[in-house]
């Protein structure tokens, strides 16, 4: 099956008892044993497994092309479990430009616990090679990055990781497997916030880890998932699985709208800079043409002026909503530095824009009116 068909059918088997097309929601926390004490139907307790979570994980495996998937209660829970599968004293190399929540996990939880972390420009391969140690276990990246939309060559960085005997882990939340397939490009593990484009409607929290192979490292991630219990509820799994059915058409429209808006903003005199890999002058444009099928629905831009000018601009918007998060059908914009806090390195006049599925003329008119 092609990926669009997989998104609709994987995890959506016909219910054998009722013939229902939509899967039932299994709310039970516990499952019956047979008289001999066995569990022939495969489930013991919902922290360990649940039919809805099984269906979602099967779908995620098929979409990303992996052998194993573990669904979590949030994207950060998924990322935390990947790093927790390492040992104190292990070393990881991570991109300098990461989602601030990932950076907080590393600095506030895992470095005090004993993980060694090197923050580098992962696009500078010589710098990456310089910081690699004998105990380096993971090279971690986002592409496009959050919020500056830097692009990293997944194949090249994966090769560097494998030369060092390390794993390459890629956050694929923004492109989704519809637009970018890191496991096929050489990465070993993909992480997602399924809250975003997979769910697609700003109404469910979740995360996922998908591994190219079911090996000992993935088994440890699964063990941490089951013992730690950071698992999504059955209804959350059901909502994400339902959202995935429209993922391919939504990503196409998100990308088309974002490209038009990026071109509009780049020409506007009140905009200082636009960060979008679909623009031909973006430094990662050539790489994106090789590893993504479209350019995605996320962009950032700097309003001419300062923090107050940026906040005043978004205060004048009527259709585009001021809110954190991304990937929903509605357009969302936020002043990123104030979300990231006092340690933020994001420019104070930068706004991150999750371009929704509204009519493109309405979105451009809203931006244009607010910029006047």
Query: Is position 99 annotated as part of the catalytic site?
Result: yes
Q: Is 267 helix (H, G, I), strand (E, B) or coil?
A: helix
What burial letters (b/e) apply to 342-368, b meaning 16+ CB within 10 Å? eeeebbbbbbbbbbbbbebeebbebbe
Give catalytic status of residue 236 as yes or no.
no
Beta partners for 334? 352
The one catalytic residue among 6, 53, 99, 275: 99
Among residues 341, 247, 350, the alpha carbon closest in space to that of 299 is found at 350
Q: Which residues contact 354 (CB under 8 A, 6 or more apart)?
A: 297, 298, 325, 326, 327, 328, 331, 332, 333
Annotated active-site residue in 150, 196, 222, 352? 196
The residue annotated as part of the active site, out of 90, 171, 188, 236, is: 171
Q: Pick the catalytic residue from 47, 252, 273, 307.
A: 47
* Half-sphere exposure for 272 (CA within 13 Å, toward CB): 15
Which is nearest to 198 in space by CA: 257, 149, 239?
Answer: 239
Burial of 146 (0-12, 13-18, 19+ CB in 10 A): buried
DSSP per-residue string spanning 62-79: HHHT-SEEEEESSHHHHH
Residue 275 among the catalytic residues: no
The SS3 assignment for 260 reads helix
Q: Which residues are the active-site residues?
A: 47, 99, 171, 196
């Amino acid at each position: 099956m092609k990926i669009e068909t997989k998104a609709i059918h994987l995890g959506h088997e016909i219910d054998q008892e009722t013939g229902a097309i939509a899967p039932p929601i299994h709310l039970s926390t516990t499952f019956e044993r047979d008289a001999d004490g066995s569990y022939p139907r495969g489930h013991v307790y919902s922290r360990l497994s649940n039919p809805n979570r099984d269906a979602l994980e099967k779908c995620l495996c098929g979409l990303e092309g992996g052998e194993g998937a573990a669904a979590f209660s949030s994207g950060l829970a998924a990322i935390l479990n990947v790093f927790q599968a390492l040992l104190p004293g292990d070393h990881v190399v991570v991109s300098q430009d990461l989602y601030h929540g990932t950076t907080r996990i590393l600095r506030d939880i895992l470095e005090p616990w004993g993980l060694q972390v090197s923050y580098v420009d992962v696009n500078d391969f010589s710098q990456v090679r310089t910081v690699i140690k004998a105990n380096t276990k993971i090279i971690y990246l986002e592409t496009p990055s959050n919020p500056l939309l830097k692009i990293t060559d997944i194949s090249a960085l994966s090769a560097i990781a494998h030369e060092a005997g390390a794993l390459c882990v890629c956050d694929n939340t923004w492109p989704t497997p519809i637009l970018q397939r890191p496991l096929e490009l050489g990465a070993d593990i993909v992480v997602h916030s399924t809250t975003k484009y997979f769910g697609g409607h700003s109404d469910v929290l979740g995360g996922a880890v998908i591994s190219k192979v079911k090996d000992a490292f993935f088994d440890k991630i699964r063990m941490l998932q089951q013992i730690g219990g950071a698992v999504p509820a059955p209804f959350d799994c059901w909502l994400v699985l339902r959202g995935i059915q429209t993922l391919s058409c939504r990503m196409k429209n998100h990308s088309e709208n974002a490209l038009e808006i990026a071109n509009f903003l780049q020409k506007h005199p009140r905009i200082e800079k636009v960060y979008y890999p679909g623009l031909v002058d973006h430094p990662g444009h050539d790489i994106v043409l090789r590893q993504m099928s479209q350019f995605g629905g996320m962009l950032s831009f700097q309003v001419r002026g300062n923090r107050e000018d940026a906040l005043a601009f978004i205060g004048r918007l009527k259709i585009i909503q001021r809110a954190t998060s991304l990937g929903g059908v509605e357009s969302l914009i936020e002043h990123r530095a104030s979300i990231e806090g006092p340690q933020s390195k994001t420019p104070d006049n930068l706004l991150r824009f999750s371009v929704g599925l509204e009519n493109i003329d309405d979105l451009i008119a809203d931006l244009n009116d607010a910029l006047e």
